[in-house]
Amino acid sequence: MTKIVLITGATSGIGKATALLLAKNGYRLILTGRRKERLEELKKEISGEICTLCFDVTKSVEVENALKSLPSEWKNIDVLINNAGKAIGIDELASGDITEWGKMIDTNIKGLLYVTRLILPGMKERKSGHIINLSSIAGKETYPGGSIYCATKHAVNAISDSMRVELLPYSIKVSTISPGAVETEFSVVRFRGDRKKADNVYRGLTPLYAKDIAECIYFIISRPENVTIADIKVLAGAQASARDFYRKEK
Ligand code: 8X3
């Protein structure tokens, strides 16, 4: 039977690239995001069986109402890809903005929890399912100016590792993917819209692209039943850690 995959944050970057690749490979997709117009555009762009749901992962009531509104033929979600996430700012803790901290914590940790909590009961009942949580190299390392973002991604790993044990008796797999430097809107958001600063992150090197991560996600979810990919750490070719890059300056 064709699997149903729900992707959060599907309207851009890794979420969108994953939606395009999975649609091509015949999955039925529930694409979710905050921006209704972008969801509508995406639906037109993708051929295949698509259902869209507009909600903000940080608002638990919105998440609950949206998931409850799914038509019965879309309710049995086989794969959940918790992709929605962001970094805002690269400030040292002493000068950090409390509102921005809240947005990162609410999206990257609470949002993932709100969505997962509502999808798990069905998976447990059916004794099958797969959760893929988007972590980051920032979930394995830390760097100056990254305290809150790194903390949220370390939390994603802790939640994923705990869930993997809790869900063993239900044959529900839990995977994380930990990308390094991927060129998406991520850096533009991190630098609060300053494209020059965002471009500087990838200066002198070829970064990862969203489709590279989408391919890893497709690999993770298409393994046979006897294989669980617990985590994939994927770096750009010219990257050795969160802070080590080999840049070819012009
Ligand atoms: C994004 C990777 O290195 O900018 O998750 O934190 S990094």
The pLDDT tens digits of the residues spanning 97-137 come to: 999 999 999 999 999 999 999 999 999 999 999 999 999 99
**Residue 180 clears pLDDT 90, i.e. is over it:** yes
Q: Is the pLDDT of residue 195 over 90?
A: yes
Which residue's alpha carbon is nearest to atom 4 within ligand 1? 181
Catalytic annotation present for 36: no
**Ligand 1 centroid, distance to 86 Cα (angstroms):** 10
pTM score: 0.97
Residue of 212, 204, 202, 246 lying closest to 232 (CA atoms): 212
pLDDT digits (tens, 9 = 90+) for 196-205: 999 999 999 9
Q: Which atom of ligand 1 is nearest to the CA of 146?
A: 6
pLDDT at res. 39: 96
Q: Of residues 153, 170, 202, 209, which has the active-site annotation?
A: 153
- What's the rounded mean pLDDT across residues 31-41? 96
Summarize the chain as % helix, strand, coil (round to 5).
45, 15, 35
Going along the chain, which residue ranges are E strands? 4-7, 28-33, 50-54, 79-82, 129-134, 172-179, 182-183, 208-209, 231-234
The pLDDT score that the predictor gives to residue 224 is 98
Q: What is the pLDDT of residue 181?
A: 97
172 CA to centre of ligand 1 in angstroms? 28
- Give the closest residue (by CA) to ligand 1 atom 5: 136
Task: Give pLDDT, residue 91.
Answer: 96
Mind listing the pLDDT tens digit for each residue in 133-179? 999 999 999 999 999 999 999 999 999 999 999 999 999 999 999 99
| 51: pLDDT strictly greater than 70 | yes
> Is the pLDDT at 190 greater than 90, yes or no?
yes
The residues spanned by each domain of the chain are 4-234
- CA 166 from centre of chain: 21
Tokens at 180, concatenated? 């390094």
Q: Once rounded to an integer, what is the mean pLDDT over residues 212-229?
A: 98
For the Cβ of 136 lying below 6 angstroms from any atom of ligand 1, the answer is: yes
Nearest to 82 by CA among 128, 116, 55: 116
Domain 4-234: CATH superfamily is: NAD(P)-binding Rossmann-like Domain (3.40.50.720)
250, pLDDT greater than 70 = no
Residue 14: its H or E element: helix 13-24
Which among 92, 206, 194, 85 is positioned nearest to 143, based on CA atoms? Answer: 92
Q: What is the pLDDT of residue 249?
A: 79
CA 135 / ligand 1 centre spacing (Å): 9
**Is the C-beta atom of 67 inside 6 A of ligand 1?**
no
Using the predicted structure, report yes or no on whether residue 1 has a pLDDT greater than 90: no
Residue nearest to atom 6 of ligand 1 (CA): 138
- Concerning whether 153 is annotated as a catalytic residue, the answer is yes
Average pLDDT over residues 13-42: 97
By most ligand atoms within 8 Å of CB, the mutation choice from 14, 108, 156, 186 for ligand 1 is 186
In the chain, what percentage of residues exceed pLDDT 70?
A: 100
- For residue 156, give the nearest of 97, 235, 231, 217 by alpha carbon: 231
* Residue to substitute in 86, 135, 140, 149 for testing ligand 1 pocket (most ligand atoms within 8 angstroms of CB): 149
Can you tell me which residue has the tokens 């033929």?
73
H helices within 46-182, ranges in order?
60-68, 98-104, 112-126, 147-166
Average pLDDT over residues 14-24: 98
CB of residue 137 inside a 6 A radius of ligand 1: yes
State the average pLDDT over residues 76-87: 98
